[in-house]
Amino acid sequence: MTENRPAERDSSGEPGRSTVGFSWEAELRQFDVRRERARKLGGERRVNRQREQGRYTIRERIEKIAESFSEIGEFAVYHEYDALGNKLGTLPSSYVCGLAKVDGRYVALGGEDFTVRGGAPQTYLDRMKGGTGGFIDDLAHDYKIPLMLFVEGVGGDVAGQEEKGHAYLNNSISWNRCFEVLSEVPVLSMVSGVAVGAASARALASHFSVITKDSVLITGGPPLVRRALGIEIDKFDLGGAKLVTSIGAVDNLAEDEDDAMNQMRRVLSYLPQNAWQLPERAPCTDPVTRRAPELLEIIPENRRQAYRASRVIQAVVDQDSFFEIGSRWGKSLTTGLARIDGIPIGVLANNPQSLGGAMDAAACDKQVRLISLCNTFHLPILYFVDVPGFMVGPQAEKDNTLRWGLKAMESIISATVPVVTIQVRKSYGLAVSATSNPEKLGLRLAWPSGEWGDLPIEGGVEAAYRREIEASENPEQLRAEIEARMGALVDPWRTAEAFGVEHMIDPRATREIVATFFEASLGSMSAGGNLPRPDWRGRS
């Protein structure tokens, strides 16, 4: 008969298996002991500090977003030492991960536990649980399910060298899976608190990222900057949330963690489980036949007057379905996700309220990113075009706008999904080539408000006929006569008569026409049920 006796403890004081014999009672008791330790995270003091700073713990985040959670690696631990190498005790590992259900969908879910070693990588474990690859990325890859990440970590520290017994090359840690899953499944990340170094990079290796307004995302912290550059700087000045969302490092800003998690869930709702499936079509209570008379008010009759691009989008897509991505950067292009007749789509619209809608380097980068997302997950693209051209001027040249413009052109030319453009107003110069592909269907629907050409009439006349105008006895009269003659040629109806634009439509009927073509196009993306896996291009 097996003797029931308590489990012995190893040299560290941790529970260990008895050397006398095996006992089911003793072994099963270990589940409660070890699970209780895992639930305590880094200890009461560190947990309280996390909450005092207005942040959830990693376990609270998981409880907030998931209907169910099957944890993996719950009993992995980290042995804590002081600066002199004396052991202080044993804590749970600095990463929590597992299989979750979010809005009824299976996802691979994981995140750093900042209360343990600042959420540093688990170089002390035989296998990484997550962060820079590891089990959670493998789970998303093998099961072909979305990957959701809560990022809050220091990215690495010198203590890792002591754990291994030697300094190690960081390129011994493979990032391959982190990039591989980007072409396979939706990857969504949330930053709350501080993300530094590798943790920051992992947050950005995603299809959608969001950061809470009181958080920081940086390559290296103030101590590193001080030692490297001799500069004293606050971490928020280095990479505060408002800064990183204004330059496009992180897509969206959130008021708090609840807002951030809601945004992640919203984005996930537009996307399929993986790149081999079409996104799910949602029930639609907004009639597809709904006309949009408000468009005649939104688009001013004065073509020099600006309007808000998001209002145009909202008038056409399903009611309350537009979710904007990247509103704080590349502002001359509005981008996001929406639905038309329940079909998830990607939306782009030139925004005349910023730079007159001209495409600067940031806007071009923004376009590349959204179209890559649409290609990967089979979202048709709706593009509202009102572009006076690529941005010009000294700053535009310093920003290498033309090179970024070519990337934007390549993104639309290489699009693997149906693209419908609405020629809203201006379409001038090389930037128009970044709005559709003439070698594919590239369906272009024009409104009577449209105007296009190599250059706007005013600047074009000045460039083409400057010498004649200057030599004229009445330069202003001659300029006006030339502009009037050229103006007759840019009448959009003439282009429609020449089939230079596929169709002229009443703006109020846009919704029904676009919905009809998108519904008809769904079969082209399924390829008979064998969806190819496109490459994720991401940010260059």
The pLDDT tens digits of the residues spanning 41-63 come to: 878 899 999 898 889 999 999 99
Q: Are residues 61 and 124 in the same domain?
A: yes
The pLDDT of residue 44 is 87
Burial of 158 (0-12, 13-18, 19+ CB in 10 A): exposed
User: What is the rounded CA–CA span in Å between residue 421 and residue 437?
Assistant: 10
Q: Among residues 521, 507, 285, which one has the least CA distance to residue 381?
A: 521
Q: Note whether residue 158 is domain-resident.
A: yes
Please report, for the domain that includes residue 445, its CATH number: 3.90.226.10
Q: Are residues 152 and 49 in the same domain?
A: yes
Average pLDDT (325-334) is 97
Q: Note whether residue 485 is domain-resident.
A: no
The pLDDT of residue 8 is 45
Q: Is the pLDDT of residue 384 over 70?
A: yes
Average pLDDT (345-360) is 97
Please say whether the beta carbons of 353 and 306 come within 8 A: yes
Average pLDDT (26-53) is 89
Of 113-117, 184-188, 345-349, 359-363, give the lowest mean pLDDT range.
Answer: 113-117
Calculate the average pLDDT of the chain: 87
The pLDDT of residue 10 is 46
The pLDDT of residue 61 is 96
Q: Are residues 106 and 44 in the same domain?
A: yes
Please say whether the beta carbons of 108 and 206 come within 8 A: no
Please say whether the beta carbons of 383 and 348 come within 8 A: yes
Q: Note whether residue 289 is domain-resident.
A: no
Q: Note whether residue 396 is domain-resident.
A: yes
Please say whether the beta carbons of 43 and 115 come within 8 A: yes
The pLDDT of residue 236 is 92
Q: How confident is the model at residue 533 (pLDDT cuts 50, 70, 90)?
A: low
Q: Are residues 264 and 351 in the same domain?
A: no
Q: Are residues 301 and 206 in the same domain?
A: no
Q: How confident is the model at residue 538 (pLDDT cuts 50, 70, 90)?
A: very low
Q: Is the pLDDT of residue 2 over 50?
A: no
> For the residues of 33-54, what is the DSSP string, one character each?
HHHHHHHTTT-HHHHHHHHHTT
User: What is the rounded CA–CA span in Å between residue 363 and residue 448?
Assistant: 26
How many Cα atoms are found within 13 Å in the side-chain-facing hemisphere of 41? 24
**Phi–psi pair at 399, nearest 5 degrees:** -80, 0
Of 37-51, 298-312, 376-390, 417-431, give the lowest mean pLDDT range.
Answer: 37-51
Q: How confident is the model at residue 462 (pLDDT cuts 50, 70, 90)?
A: low
Give 478 or 296, the one with higher predicted confidence: 296
Percent of the chain with pLDDT over 90: 61
Q: Are residues 337 and 427 in the same domain?
A: yes
Range of the structural domain that residue 333 is part of? 295-453+491-526
Q: Is the pLDDT of residue 165 over 80?
A: no
The pLDDT tens digits of the residues spanning 171-186 come to: 657 788 999 999 999 9
Of 6-15, 202-211, 438-447, give the lowest mean pLDDT range.
Answer: 6-15
User: What is the rounded CA–CA span in Å between residue 49 and residue 52?
Assistant: 5
Q: Are residues 263 and 300 in the same domain?
A: no
The residue type of 341 is D
Beta strands in 287-432 (DSSP E): 323-324, 333-340, 343-350, 381-387, 419-428
Q: Are residues 152 and 50 in the same domain?
A: yes
Q: Note whether residue 283 is domain-resident.
A: no
The pLDDT of residue 145 is 97
Please say whether the beta carbons of 413 and 381 come within 8 A: no
| 3-class DSSP assignment, residue 407 | helix
Of 127-141, 159-173, 194-208, 322-336, give the lowest mean pLDDT range.
Answer: 159-173
The pLDDT of residue 7 is 44
The pLDDT of residue 172 is 58
Q: Note whether residue 462 is domain-resident.
A: no
Q: Is the pLDDT of residue 455 over 60?
A: no
Of 128-132, 134-138, 213-217, 447-451, give the lowest mean pLDDT range.
Answer: 128-132
Q: How confident is the model at residue 524 (pLDDT cuts 50, 70, 90)?
A: confident
End position of a domain, from candidates 253, 270, 287: 270
Please say whether the beta carbons of 97 and 130 come within 8 A: yes
Q: Are residues 259 and 312 in the same domain?
A: no
- Best-predicted range by mean pLDDT (3-12, 106-115, 463-472): 106-115
Q: Are residues 122 and 62 in the same domain?
A: yes
The pLDDT of residue 249 is 95
How many Cα atoms are found within 13 Å in the side-chain-facing hemisphere of 299? 22
The pLDDT of residue 525 is 80
Q: Are residues 356 and 240 in the same domain?
A: no
Report the domain count for the chain: 2
The pLDDT of residue 220 is 87
Beta strands in 44-131 (DSSP E): 68-72, 77-81, 87-92, 95-102, 105-112
Q: How confident is the model at residue 156 (pLDDT cuts 50, 70, 90)?
A: low
Q: Note whether residue 531 is domain-resident.
A: no
Residue 381: strand pairing partners: 346, 419
The pLDDT tens digits of the residues spanning 390-404 come to: 999 999 999 999 999
User: What is the rounded CA–CA span in Å between residue 373 and residue 534?
Assistant: 10
Torsion region of 207: left, alpha or beta (phi above 0 gives left; psi -120 to 50 gives alpha): alpha
Q: Note whether residue 1 is domain-resident.
A: no
Please say whether the beta carbons of 481 and 502 come within 8 A: no
Average pLDDT (443-462) is 75
Residue with tokens 């296009």: 452
Of 37-46, 318-327, 339-348, give the lowest mean pLDDT range.
Answer: 37-46
The rounded Cα 42 to chain-centroid distance in angstroms is: 31
Average pLDDT (162-170) is 60
Q: Is the pLDDT of residue 23 over 60?
A: yes
Please say whether the beta carbons of 22 and 32 come within 8 A: no
Of 120-134, 190-204, 486-500, give the lowest mean pLDDT range.
Answer: 486-500
Q: Is the pLDDT of residue 9 over 50?
A: no
The pLDDT of residue 485 is 64
Vertex 312 angle, CA 325 and 453, to 5°: 100
Query: Which helix (DSSP H) or strand (DSSP E) does residue 468 occupy?
Result: helix 457-471
Q: Are residues 255 and 366 in the same domain?
A: no
- Tokens (6 digits) for 465: 């006929």
Average pLDDT (273-291) is 95
